[in-house]
Amino acid sequence: MKAFLIGSRGSALALWQAEHVKTRLKALGHSAEIRVITTSGDRVEGRLESVGGKGAFLKEIEEALLAEEIDLAVHSLKDVPVSLPRGLVLCAVLERADPRDALVSANGTLLAALPAGARVGTTSLRRRAQLLAVRPDLVVGDLRGNVDTRLRKLREGAFDAIVIATAGITRLGRATEITERIDPGLILPAPGQGAIALECRDADAGVAAAVQQLHHPDSARAVEAERAFLEGLGGGCNVPLGAFAEVQGAELWLRAVVAREDGSALLRGERRGSRGRDLGAALAEELLARGARELLQP
């Protein structure tokens, strides 16, 4: 049995995820402790693009891994860039939670029933673009902060509704506040949304072997297709695109969207196949041929 030092951000959601992994490792007979690491993304008050996008939530944790100060990192997979630093690898993907986005509105109003001009909060370009494509009469504003901060801003009246990941609000025990789980046919989630990924040093075979019992093959197959699509579009986490793969027996059904940030144009596509990486790459190539690159230009 192994002793693990787990690296995690200090947000409530990140700590929930790290504690979940710690509990599962202990159930397998290992010992585990958590080390909280403050990342560049935690220090930024403005938009993340200025410090490298969502990857800024990983930088210092990955540095600690490479320096052998921790043994394992726990991440929300949607925040993990498709290219990892040399020497690091994703060694397990846990069973995925609900990947859908959730609408939380001040008075329980569903997305379709929000009045024209209603203020909806999100920091995600992907959510913004798809919301405006469906409801161009809404006013979509920037909403940063952790889950508690976002919900507090809604209660204080800064917004009429917010859009947030179903998995995150559920993990924090606040699922009863969800007004509507948004159908992926309307708004596709981010690649990897709802999945927890474990990262370790690629030379640390002992850690990789120990966490394999936490690995969920079907979830890994699905997110592999989504991340291959993201990689085919350039690999950035801060672009208005969504991808969602569902396992259907031996096949995967991958749906994806690329949008202009203001929601004025969208490209949708879907494919079925058995090999996630090939499926995602092929769908990315198709959408690029149909003009996706032009939509992603600032």
Q: What is the pLDDT of residue 45?
A: 58
Going by pLDDT thresholds of 50, 70 and 90, the confidence category of residue 150 is: very high
Burial class (CB in 10 A: 0-12, 13-18, 19+), 138: buried
Distance between CA 108 and CA 155 in Å, rounded? 12
The arithmetic mean of pLDDT across residues 107-112, rounded, is 96
DSSP type of residue 148: H
Q: What is the pLDDT of residue 236?
A: 66
**For residue range 183-233, what is the model confidence (pLDDT) as tens digits?**
999 999 999 999 999 999 999 999 999 999 999 999 999 999 999 999 999
Q: What is the pLDDT of residue 152?
A: 95
The arithmetic mean of pLDDT across residues 138-166, rounded, is 95
Distance between CA 6 and CA 79 in Å, rounded? 18
Distance between CA 143 and CA 3 in Å, rounded? 39
Q: What is the pLDDT of residue 298?
A: 67
Bridge-partner residues for 197, per DSSP? 75, 93
Residue from 165, 124, 120 nearest 144 by CA = 124
DSSP type of residue 113: G
DSSP type of residue 158: S
Going by pLDDT thresholds of 50, 70 and 90, the confidence category of residue 53 is: low
Instruction: Give the phi and the psi of residue 253 in degrees, each rounded to 5.
Output: -110, 110
Helix (H) / strand (E) element for 272: namely strand 266-273
**Cβ neighbours around 298 below 10 Å, total:** 4
The arithmetic mean of pLDDT across residues 16-41, rounded, is 94
Residue type, 161: A
C-alpha to C-alpha distances, 55 to 136, 178, 219, 236, 294, nearest whole angstrom: 30, 28, 22, 9, 24
% of the chain at pLDDT higher than 70: 94
Grouping H, G, I as helix, E, B as strand and the rest as coil, residue 57 is: helix
Catalytic residues: 79
Helix (H) / strand (E) element for 279: namely helix 276-289
Answer whether 288's CB lies under 8 Å from 265's CB: no
- Mean confidence (pLDDT) of the chain: 93
Answer whether 169's CB lies under 8 Å from 104's CB: yes
Answer whether 6's CB lies under 8 Å from 70's CB: yes
- At which residue do the structure tokens 């402790």 appear? 33
Distance between CA 225 and CA 221 in Å, rounded? 7
Answer whether 190's CB lies under 8 Å from 168's CB: no
The answer on pLDDT for 296 being more than 90 is no
Going by pLDDT thresholds of 50, 70 and 90, the confidence category of residue 273 is: very high
C-alpha to C-alpha distances, 138 to 49, 59, 131, 263, nearest whole angstrom: 24, 35, 8, 11
Strands 161-165 and 101-105: antiparallel
Domains present along the chain, CATH in parentheses? 3-94+195-215 (3.40.190.10), 101-181 (3.40.190.10), 228-295 (3.30.160.40)
Helix (H) / strand (E) element for 246: namely strand 241-248
Instruction: Give the phi and the psi of residue 243 in degrees, each rounded to 5.
Output: -155, 140
The answer on pLDDT for 237 being more than 70 is no
Helix (H) / strand (E) element for 34: namely strand 31-36
Going by pLDDT thresholds of 50, 70 and 90, the confidence category of residue 98 is: very high
- Kindly state the tokens that stand for 234: 């350039």
**For residue range 155-166, what is the model confidence (pLDDT) as tens digits?**
999 999 999 999
